[in-house]
Chain A
Amino acid sequence: MLNLFSGLTRGSMYALIALGYTLVYGVLQLINFAHSEVFMSGAFASFIVVNALVGENQIPGWVVPLIFLAGLLSGGLAGASVAWGLERIAYRALRRRGAPKLAFLISAIGMSFLLSALAGKLFNRYTNNQFPDYFNKDAVVFTVFGAEIRLIQVIIIFGAIIMMVFLDRLVSGTKLGKSIRGVAEDAPTAALMGINIDKTISRTFVIGGALGGAAGFLYGTAFVFSNTMGFLPGVKAFAAAVLGGIGNIRGAMIGGLLLGIIEVLIPALPFIGTKWTDVVAFVVLVMVLVLRPTGILGEKLGRAA
């Protein structure tokens, strides 16, 4: 039972990151492999903000939620601006020139390395930076069938769900969402209908980046963060996006949650062991690609959302 919750915690984080992959794939049909560094940048930016607010001080209880919110917002903001910059620098020029898909992929991977190395240079290269302890993350909130559920798990799961519902509403209910779906469905036709494609793509990056950056803050709060933290969760979130059906927003959410749970439950079985945790995600990725390449929900952003 407890494992299920710790799986949900991981899974909701994968889901948040996976949304970034899936949104961009939806509108551009390309995998933005630099998204894992968007996630990382959110963790560092929110650390700077939270650390400036908290420092060594004793924080009164009522300020804690505000600091948490400030962290979440700064993470999201940093993620959004990095994603926006990425689109401007690494993709837009290529798109204007009608470059082949491979060029986008190379550009993405290059930006990913660049950003990770840059963060290492700017901040540090430790792999276990921690946020200041400004609240008791391990406080037990409630107990389900003898399993103690901790505050940080509740925050992450609920935070992720709120953000995902918000995104789902945004894409299916608003004008911006309509234009994103339009571009995803058929970009040239959407352009003929008066949708500004460049603007829509840029905004899609910003939305995905904001979610990824916020996920970076949540991840850093729950565990530790570093300049190389993005790689593994990034690849796993990609696997999650594929599992749910890449390009499909609800699919990314389901895929993320599912992968998190699988990842925690399978290694706990006898004869497998914790050291296989990372292998599980990739086995899932391969199985999905072999058995059902379109994922659980299929791959149309335009229809499913």
Chain B
Amino acid sequence: MRSSSLAKFAAIAAVGALALAACSNSTSDAKSSSSAAPAASSSSSSAAPAASSDAATSETSSAAGGASNSDTVYKIGFQGPLSGDNQQLGINESNGVELAVEQANASGDLGFTLELVKSDDVGLPDKSPAAAATLIQDTGVVGVVGPAFSGSTKAVGATYSAANLALISPSATNATLTTSGFTAFHRIVPTDAVESAGTAKWLAKTVKSVFIVDDLSDYGKGAADELEKGLKSAGIKTQREGVDAKTTDYSAIAQKVATSGDEALFYGGYDAQVSLFARALKSAGYKGVTVTGNGGKSSVFTEGAGDAGDGWYFSCGCLDATTAPAAKDFEAAYVKKYNQPSSTYSPEAYDAANAMISVIKDLAAKGEVTREDVMAGVKALDYKGITTQVKFTESGEVEAATINLYRQEKGVINLLGDMKDQ
């Protein structure tokens, strides 16, 4: 009883706070966004009635000033893991998107207010449809950054496509995503096929045999498959094992790797698991080269693996914003807002969001923004981001593709440079 009345009170308070916020927004933005005032708020978002009614009251009260407008709100969705094992990658991304949205709103030349709707899919394919439905059913959402993970994307690519809701993923890298007929899907990072082919070439330069382990997920298995293909064609000896991503005891497989005598080990999977594997490998005394893909490169790995993570290599079609010169302003803003340096895929998510915002902005200047128009706009994008030139091929693949090589030393993941040059 008590908690329900508390909830009611909280709800009323929240509505009140929203109304106040909307009110203050509509007056403070009045100057800047007066040009967009005629744009009808056809996107009937849930917040729209409250906002417009408040705008109406503020209009009457501030009629003397004569500078008021009905505040149009467009929403950008974000889908990725915000809880669970792989939440760090999702939080990195949602922070990047949030920063882009905040900066766009602060810039004052949008002509509308941008809102971010986050939808948590825990990084799991089975949770993904519900997360996607939240965004699709919110008619105010005109474009989505995400989904973050390949498995999640596979589960909902068709749904988003049917809803004509454009996706720009900062990190879903499974090669088949762009060949599955998902018209809505675009990504600004190179595929696992490209990445693993690069890793295979790089490994082939230095080692003669590679032990490949994957976590049986869409991402991990895909990355490992491509690597195996690349290594085989280069004449490198390989052997393969799959280990379920729920495993906590890696001692048996680590032992097998250690006794295999293979010169290198590749793990296809995500950070939380690869950190456990790294620990087990260290205690099994494995001395070979250890490599993982973009899914493993994060602070979760660094923390989880401890000093067992030192010496691990990471391939990633991503940019390390802490060192890249093009991302200096972004990094400064990020640190200011979140009190920590940006991490894997934050810059990519920032770029994806900004590219999406540029599309919405162009459309809003011409009139109404619909999902169909945003979709067409995304397909025609040519936007210079901090990580890459955001321009898509017919299938939704980014045109520019650089794979970087990273290595952890003394608990820090350092950028070594373009994989081709290593």
Q: Which residues of A contact B (CB under 8 A)?
A: 2-3, 6, 10, 125-128, 130, 133, 137-138, 148, 150, 222-224, 229, 232, 264, 267-268, 273-275, 277-278
Q: Which residues of chain B (181-230) have a CB below 8 Å from chain A?
A: 216
Segment with Cβ contacts to A, from B10-18, B72-80, B245-253: B245-253
Flag if A6 contacts B304 (CB, 8 Å): no
Which residues on the B side are within 8 Å of A10 (C-beta)?
Answer: 249
Which residues on the A side are within 8 Å of B285 (C-beta)?
Answer: 148
CB-defined interface of B228-251 with A at 8 Å, one 1/0 digit per residue? 000000000000011110111101
Q: List 5 A-B contacts (CB under 8 A).
A: A3-B252, A125-B83, A126-B272, A127-B248, A148-B285
Nearest chain-B residue to A222 (Cβ)? Answer: B249
Flag if B243 contacts A127 (CB, 8 Å): no
Q: Which residues of chain B (252-270) have a CB below 8 Å from chain A?
A: 252-253, 255-256
Flag if A130 contacts B304 (CB, 8 Å): yes
Flag if B216 contacts A6 (CB, 8 Å): no
| A148 vs B282: C-alpha distance when bound (angstroms) | 13
A125-B84, A274-B252 known; A138-B283 Cβ under 8 A: yes
**Does B318 belong to the interface (CB within 8 Å)?**
no
Most buried by B among A2, A126, A222: A126
**Does B385 belong to the interface (CB within 8 Å)?**
no
Q: Which residues of B contact A (CB under 8 A)?
A: 83-85, 216, 241-244, 246-249, 251-253, 255-256, 272-273, 275-276, 282-283, 285, 304, 306
Instruction: Given contacts A274-B241, A275-B243, list 19 more A-B pairs with CB under 8 A.
Output: A2-B255, A3-B255, A125-B83, A127-B85, A127-B272, A128-B275, A128-B276, A138-B282, A148-B285, A222-B249, A223-B248, A223-B276, A268-B256, A273-B242, A274-B242, A274-B243, A274-B253, A277-B252, A278-B244
Q: How far is the CB of B62 from chain A (nearest CB, A)?
A: 46
Flag if B246 contacts A6 (CB, 8 Å): no
Q: How far is the CB of B410 from chain A (nearest CB, A)?
A: 16
Closest 4 CB pairs of A and B: A138-B283, A275-B242, A223-B248, A274-B253
| A258 vs B282: C-alpha distance when bound (angstroms) | 27
Q: How far is the CB of A142 from chain B (nearest CB, A)?
A: 15
Nearest chain-B residue to A128 (Cβ)? Answer: B272
| A128 vs B249: C-alpha distance when bound (angstroms) | 11
| A16 vs B224: C-alpha distance when bound (angstroms) | 38
Total number of residue pairs linking A and B with CB closer than 8 Å: 60
| A7 vs B83: C-alpha distance when bound (angstroms) | 33
| A268 vs B243: C-alpha distance when bound (angstroms) | 12
| A229 vs B85: C-alpha distance when bound (angstroms) | 13
Nearest chain-A residue to B245 (Cβ)? Answer: A127
| A222 vs B249: C-alpha distance when bound (angstroms) | 8
Which residues on the B side are within 8 Å of A150 (C-beta)?
Answer: 283
Which residues on the A side are within 8 Å of B304 (C-beta)?
Answer: 128, 130
Nearest chain-A residue to B272 (Cβ)? Answer: A128
Flag if A223 contacts B242 (CB, 8 Å): no
A2-B255, A125-B83, A128-B304 known; A229-B244 Cβ under 8 A: no
| A229 vs B249: C-alpha distance when bound (angstroms) | 12
Q: How far is the CB of A140 from chain B (nearest CB, A)?
A: 9
Which residues on the B side are within 8 Å of A2 (C-beta)?
Answer: 255
Nearest chain-A residue to B84 (Cβ)? Answer: A125
| A222 vs B280: C-alpha distance when bound (angstroms) | 11
| A278 vs B275: C-alpha distance when bound (angstroms) | 21
Which residues on the A side are within 8 Å of B247 (C-beta)?
Answer: 277
Flag if A6 contacts B255 (CB, 8 Å): yes
| A137 vs B249: C-alpha distance when bound (angstroms) | 14
| A125 vs B83: C-alpha distance when bound (angstroms) | 8
Q: How far is the CB of B269 from chain A (nearest CB, A)?
A: 13
Q: How far is the CB of A112 from chain B (nearest CB, A)?
A: 17
Q: How far is the CB of A150 from chain B (nearest CB, A)?
A: 7
Nearest chain-B residue to A150 (Cβ)? Answer: B283
Flag if A127 contacts B246 (CB, 8 Å): yes
Which residues on the A side are within 8 Å of B249 (C-beta)?
Answer: 10, 222-223
Flag if A128 contacts B241 (CB, 8 Å): no
Q: How far is the CB of A13 from chain B (nearest CB, A)?
A: 10
Q: How far is the CB of A236 from chain B (nearest CB, A)?
A: 12
Which residues on the B side are within 8 Å of A125 (C-beta)?
Answer: 83-84
| A274 vs B249: C-alpha distance when bound (angstroms) | 11
Flag if A133 contacts B306 (CB, 8 Å): yes
Nearest chain-A residue to B85 (Cβ)? Answer: A127
Nearest chain-B residue to A7 (Cβ)? Answer: B252
| A148 vs B284: C-alpha distance when bound (angstroms) | 9
Flag if A126 contacts B256 (CB, 8 Å): no
Which residues on the B side are within 8 Å of A126 (C-beta)?
Answer: 84-85, 272
Give which listed residue, A128, A133, A232, A268, contacts B252 with CB less than 8 A. Answer: A268
Nearest chain-B residue to A5 (Cβ)? Answer: B251
Nearest chain-B residue to A278 (Cβ)? Answer: B244
Q: How far is the CB of A265 from chain B (nearest CB, A)?
A: 9
A126-B272, A128-B304, A275-B242 known; A224-B248 Cβ under 8 A: yes
Flag if A6 contacts B248 (CB, 8 Å): no
| A3 vs B256: C-alpha distance when bound (angstroms) | 10
A127-B85, A128-B276, A273-B241 known; A6-B282 Cβ under 8 A: no
Which residues on the B side are within 8 Å of A222 (C-beta)?
Answer: 249
Which residues on the A side are within 8 Å of B272 (C-beta)?
Answer: 126-128
